[in-house]
Amino acid sequence: GTALPEDLILVHERSDHWPLQLAKEMAIDGMYDTAYRKITGFLGEKGKPMSIDQKQRKYPAPTE
């Protein structure tokens, strides 16, 4: 698996829904810019961009 940085967490909301969020509370002013930079930075560094078709070919069935 991929380790998350200390300032990001995965939140289990329901069934297979796990949004990536900031790990600490912060003032609403500037929050969206900060969250966007941190999350897109992490995904850009650790992730691999895929189209929907590429994703469906690589992962045709849900995983556990």
Q: Which two tokens stand for residue 24?
A: 């600490």
Q: What is the pLDDT of residue 1?
A: 82
Phi and psi angles of residue 53, each rounded to the nearest 5 degrees, phi first: -60, -45
Sequence-ordered list of residues with C-beta below 8 angstroms from that of 35, at least 6 positions apart, any chain: 21, 22
Q: What is the pLDDT of residue 64?
A: 65
64 residues of the chain, pLDDT tens digit each: 889 999 999 999 888 888 888 888 777 777 778 888 899 999 999 999 999 999 999 989 876 6
Q: What is the pLDDT of residue 3?
A: 92
Pairwise CA distance, residues 5 & 23, whole Å: 9
Alpha helices in the chain (DSSP H): 31-46, 52-58
